Amino acid sequence: MIAHPRVPAVVVVLLAFVASPTSLVKRLLLGRPFRSDRLQHTLLPKRIALPVFASDALSSVAYAPDEILLTLSIAGASAYVFSPWIALAVVVVMLTVVASYRQNVHAYPSGGGDYEVATVNLGPKFGVGVASALLVDYVLTVAVSVSSGVANLGSVVPFVATHKVLIAVSAVVLLTAVNLRGLRESGTAFAIPTYGFVIVMGGMLFTGLFRVFVLGDELRAPSADLVIQAEHSVTGFALVFLLLRTFSSGAAALTGVEAISNGVPAFKAPKSRNAATTLLLLGTISVSMLVGIIWLARLTHLQFVEDPGLQIISGPDGYVQKTVTTQLGETVFGSGSILLYVVAGMTALILFLAANTAFNGFPVLGSILAQDRYLPRQFHTRGDRLAFSNGISFLALFAIVLIVGFQAEVTKLIQLYIVGVFVSFTVSQAGMIRHWNRRLRTERDPEARRRMYRSRAINTFGAGLTGTVLVIVLITKFLLGAWIAIAAMAVIYVLMLAIRRHYDRIAVELTPPDEGRAVLPARNHAIVLVSKLHQPTLRAIAYARATRPDTLTAVTVNVDENDTRDLQADWERREMAIPLTVIDSPYREITRPILDFVASTRRKSPRDVVTVFIPEYVVGRWWENLLHNQSALRLKGRLLFEPGVMVVSVPWQLASTASKNLDRLDATLSRTPARGPRGTVPPVSDPPPVSAAPVSAPPGEGGPAGGGTGGSGRD
């Protein structure tokens, strides 16, 4: 029998760690961080994906009818007769877009959505144009949805109406925190309110229509008996223009459809089929609710005007105009009914949560753009909870700016809206036409070709229809505020192209030569900066000698005659093995004399390199940094721009570093959980005597000649 060597047991020690207050707050708000291998567990089934990606389109029925009716009111109450036809036109466009995007998610399931379709089929410039339009539209989705939610809630809660900007900003902050917790958690949190809104709205519409057509009740909205006047006399071409403007406002109901095509990777397998099914559910529910609200509004003679103070000429004293859904709830369930508050509350809640569509679409698109080098690479980084934290934070910031800038007024914000989404609709469908044409040139299977012909026909019809709507939107809304969105798209477009050019230029600069091996420097000249001959200086000299340079010299700058003579005397007394070079500085400047000396050392041969060793202190307390100047830090920053110059920091840890909480520093720098008190773990090996951590030293005590810096760091 052969005796096997004994395998030492692995002892796992669980270490306690007292987190910092900042870390505790972060964990309470966002939860524990997720490992990267947990990413699969964040994927969404259809029942969760519907509220996550479709809440925007579902909730648009809460403000699209308002915009249809208030725009028609410009021509007076008689113009409301056109509202069913406007709604029907919006329904046709929505069903067309849903059918078109079902082709998109099957053809491009990787999650690029409109951006990928345009880039692959029409070229990168079109892709960037679509991306800029979508980014602007996502920001507006948050601003419009949250502002509309505040308006609906303010219809029954006066406090909200008087503090709508504060409430809207608070809602955006809350949504940001929820989304930073992770995609699946936010979807689960939003599923109940979204389905609750669908049930409540469906119940209200069913009850109202049942009472009218089955029970024969005559329902009259609170605004039915108001006498309103037209703002302008609208006939002929002006009436046509007004109807087109009304249609463009009602087309806001289509926003959010594209988010599903961008979020296909977040679905559980089979991804494409689940995304297509979710799109179909979205279209069916949205169309049903939009038609139902407009129909019931006509049956109850509901009126909703653009300017109540100007247009309402006869009504009850102190009349305050309520939103369309709130008026319908009061008409169907009665004033003061608990169900009225349920309708208002669920409508406000779904509008708040509708912003979640943008919170999931914007970061994913930003990540794809960052991967393609059109946005900073930080947008591609996932946070502790596997969410794209940087994209979420940027979206929230810009949405808050819009809410504050437009005082949470939906009518003002919505004029900027839907331009971007119809740009993406049109360009995407044009790209899909080219996609099917390319596929048809190589496909030989008759059944597959029939499916491609059908898909191409759907996308062709979609491109024509959405292109027409885009022209209408631009004509009717340009002067009302759409130009702001167009200008923002142009700025983002130029900025993304500039970022891509920068990354491309850097990539070319960093590409190694074709020969393969880099050319070694001819000689290495080492320079140790000296202010005093003490422990940090001795360590720097020892380390410099250990690197075995071709030449080695110590350099000090003469800014004080007495200090320089003392240094020279000490140098001779200790019989230092390397020469000391003294550089005169009549104006007591340190950086320029050292730069000139380094340049003269390297000037003799372009292939030579100069390595500058800077002895520095490491302090353990933050306030100690305030007691030392930053000349060494400035010198290092300046030396980085000198070609052929290497800078090495040689740290010397002061006694105060023993009290430094290194675990907290580790957690802050790496953004991962700390491993526990370092002192409880036996060291595997002795730490190296020196390090290249950039830290600072006090003047005259360890920094460069004639001065130094103070700083903190770790070995």
For 502-519, how does the pLDDT look when each residue is reduced to its tens digit (9 = 90+)? 999 888 887 777 665 666
- Cα–Cα distance between 195 and 203 in angstroms, integer? 12
Residues of the chain with pLDDT under 70: 1-44, 46, 54, 111-112, 181-190, 232, 256, 262-263, 315, 318, 381-388, 514-519, 625-630, 660-715
**DSSP state, 610?**
E
pTM of the model: 0.69
**137 within 8 A of 256, measured Cβ to Cβ:** no
Helical H segments across 263-307, by residue range: 271-299
List the chain domain ranges.
Answer: 43-502, 523-660
- Cα–Cα distance between 99 and 118 in angstroms, integer? 18
Q: Are strands 609-618 and 645-653 parallel, antiparallel or unpaired?
A: parallel
φ, ψ of residue 511 to 5 degrees: the values are: -70, 125
Q: Which of 691, 591, 585 is nearest to 634 (CA)?
A: 591
pLDDT of residue 296: 92
**492 within 8 A of 135, measured Cβ to Cβ:** yes
Q: How would you classify residue 269: left for phi > 0, otherwise alpha for psi between -120 and 50, otherwise beta?
A: beta
CATH 3.40.980.10 fits domain 523-660: no
**427 within 8 A of 265, measured Cβ to Cβ:** no
For 132-169, how does the pLDDT look when each residue is reduced to its tens digit (9 = 90+)? 998 898 888 888 888 888 887 887 778 888 888 898 89
Q: Are strands 312-314 and 227-228 parallel, antiparallel or unpaired?
A: antiparallel
CATH number of 43-502, picked from 1.20.1740.10, 2.40.40.20, 3.40.50.12780, 3.40.50.300? 1.20.1740.10
Cα separations (Å) of 445 from 78, 107, 440? 56, 17, 10
User: Encoding tokens for residue 395?
Assistant: 């979206």
Cα separations (Å) of 126 from 115, 220, 501? 8, 50, 16
**580 within 8 A of 567, measured Cβ to Cβ:** yes
**211 within 8 A of 217, measured Cβ to Cβ:** yes
